[in-house]
């Protein structure tokens, strides 16, 4: 009796669990599942449920917005934006722009303006163009500092040309500057008594003076040799230049100068100057002691002849050698 009563209880419990099993989709191996449609109440709830709000993403994730773009997106009236604009910081690109990023032409143009700017000197007394004009040549005067002195003054320094300065090895009559930058800086600070120039100022001046080339001469090639249609005097002068005159020993082709300093009996060791454009750079030597090119050629040949114990030139040879040097 006890066993029969237990079976009846189990059977009743099994019948009670059938609706739950029918609703449980995990028993699909045993019951076929019929898709349920959402009730009217569920559909109404889905319509009335508020949708989540997503924050708008910035247009440019990689870079922070510029202050200028903030001003553009502001809803303030245009007048207010215009009032605040001058207070905004400059852009990063503008702040990082330097003369090094300028083209060579733009940098040289800036250098030309500085070349004629008297504020580079103490008291704005002179500019680079005072002694070299705006073409970078020479004003043919001898100076002590910024004061013009008589040619031949032992303390004076003859103004050299800046034509071809980018091709030279060392700078200054005493060869004291190893670079063009050192030379320009020394002239501004020591001779012109101006303030220390910035790197940007020096870079611009260098760019400008490097554009100052020697004028071409129809009688002489770039390497210094005479052309086929050169005058007979120039051709004879060239042979003397590289021969008995000994000029090529110090004024070496094709630059017609030399890096080292020499003592030629003019009061000490001085840098060998270039002979390019020599016809228009009188007076000659560091102190401007010689007024004419022919006298300078004569002085140098006589010095060389004494040093090398060689012969002196004839008047005709001096004329020919002067013709050649004047054609450079």
pLDDT for 10 equals 35
104: enclosing H helix or E strand: helix 104-115
Q: Is 174 in the same domain as 250?
A: no
Output the CA angle 170-273-164, nearest 5 degrees: 70
pLDDT for 100 equals 61
The length of the chain in residues reads 328
The domain that contains 241 carries what CATH number? Answer: 1.10.760.10
pLDDT for 43 equals 56
pLDDT for 109 equals 97
Give me the torsion for CA of 6, 8, 13, 15, rounded to 10°.
Answer: 160
Q: Which burial class, exposed, middle or buried, applies to 251 when counting CB atoms under 10 A from its CB (0-12, 13-18, 19+)?
A: buried
Report if residue 13 sits inside a domain. no
CA–CA separation, 147 vs 126, rounded Å? 11
Q: Is 104 in the same domain as 155?
A: yes
Number of domains comprising the chain: 2
Report if residue 58 sits inside a domain. no
Q: Is 260 in the same domain as 199?
A: no
Task: Calculate the CA 217 to chain-centre distance.
Answer: 31
Domain boundary among 209, 242, 263: 209
The whole model's pTM is what?
0.67
pLDDT for 19 equals 39
pLDDT for 37 equals 56
What DSSP letter does each residue of 223-287 carry, written as one string?
Answer: TSPBPTTS-HHHHHHHHHHHTTT-GGGTSBTTTTB-SSEEE-SSSSEEE----TTGGGS-SBTTT
Q: Is 200 in the same domain as 292?
A: no
pLDDT for 305 equals 95
Q: Is 160 in the same domain as 124?
A: yes
Report if residue 150 sits inside a domain. yes
Q: For 59-87, give the secondary structure using H, E and C.
A: CCCCCCCCHHHHHHHCCCCHHHHHHHHHH
Q: Is 109 in the same domain as 201?
A: yes
Report if residue 76 sits inside a domain. no
Which of 271, 280, 269, 322 shows the shortest CA–CA distance to 299? 322
pLDDT for 170 equals 87
Report if residue 254 sits inside a domain. yes
Q: Is 249 in the same domain as 292?
A: yes
Report if residue 134 sits inside a domain. yes
- DSSP code of residue 172: S
Range of the domain at 121: 100-209
Report if residue 12 sits inside a domain. no
pLDDT for 39 equals 56
Report if residue 60 sits inside a domain. no
300: enclosing H helix or E strand: helix 293-308
- DSSP code of residue 191: I
Q: Is 124 in the same domain as 198?
A: yes
Domain boundary among 209, 224, 244: 209
- Provide the residue-wise pLDDT of the chain in tens; the chain has 328 residues: 444 443 443 333 343 343 333 334 333 333 344 445 555 545 545 544 555 544 444 444 444 333 333 333 333 443 333 333 333 333 222 333 466 688 999 999 999 999 999 999 999 999 999 999 889 999 999 999 999 999 999 999 999 999 999 988 889 998 889 999 999 999 999 999 999 999 999 999 999 999 999 988 899 998 999 999 999 999 999 999 999 999 999 999 988 988 888 999 999 999 999 999 999 999 999 999 999 999 999 999 999 999 999 999 999 999 999 999 999 9
Q: Is 108 in the same domain as 196?
A: yes
Domain boundary among 194, 209, 224: 209
Q: Is 247 in the same domain as 184?
A: no
pLDDT for 64 equals 38
């Amino acid at each position: 009796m006890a066993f029969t009563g237990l079976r009846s209880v189990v059977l009743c419990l099994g019948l009670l669990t059938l609706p739950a099993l029918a609703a449980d989709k995990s028993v699909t191996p045993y019951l076929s599942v019929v898709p349920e449609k959402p009730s009217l109440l569920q559909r109404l709830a889905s319509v009335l449920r508020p949708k989540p709000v997503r924050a708008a993403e910035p247009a440019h994730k990689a870079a922070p917005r510029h202050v200028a773009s903030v001003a553009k997106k502001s809803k303030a009236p245009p007048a207010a934006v215009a009032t605040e604009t001058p207070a905004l910081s400059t852009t990063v690109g503008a702040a990082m722009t330097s003369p090094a990023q300028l083209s060579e032409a733009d940098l040289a143009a800036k250098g030309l303006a500085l070349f004629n700017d008297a504020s580079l000197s103490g008291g704005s007394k002179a500019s680079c163009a005072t002694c070299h004009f705006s073409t970078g040549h020479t004003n043919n005067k001898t100076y002590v500092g910024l004061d013009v002195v008589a040619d031949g003054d032992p303390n004076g320094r003859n103004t050299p040309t800046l034509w071809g300065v980018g091709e030279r090895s060392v700078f200054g009559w005493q060869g004291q500057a190893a670079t063009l930058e050192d030379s320009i800086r020394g002239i501004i600070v020591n001779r012109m008594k101006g303030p220390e120039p910035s790197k940007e100022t020096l870079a611009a001046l260098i760019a400008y003076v490097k554009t100052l080339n020697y004028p071409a001469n129809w009688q002489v090639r770039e390497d210094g040799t005479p052309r086929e249609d050169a005058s007979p005097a120039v051709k004879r002068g060239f042979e003397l230049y590289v021969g008995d005159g000994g000029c090529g020993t110090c004024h070496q082709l094709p630059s017609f100068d030399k890096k080292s300093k020499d003592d030629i009996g003019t009061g000490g060791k001085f840098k060998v100057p270039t002979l390019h454009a020599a016809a228009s750079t009188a007076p000659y030597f560091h102190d401007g002691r010689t007024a004419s090119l022919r006298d300078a050629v004569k002085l140098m040949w006589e010095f060389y002849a004494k040093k090398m114990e060689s012969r002196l030139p004839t008047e005709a040879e001096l004329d020919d050698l002067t013709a050649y040097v004047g054609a450079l």
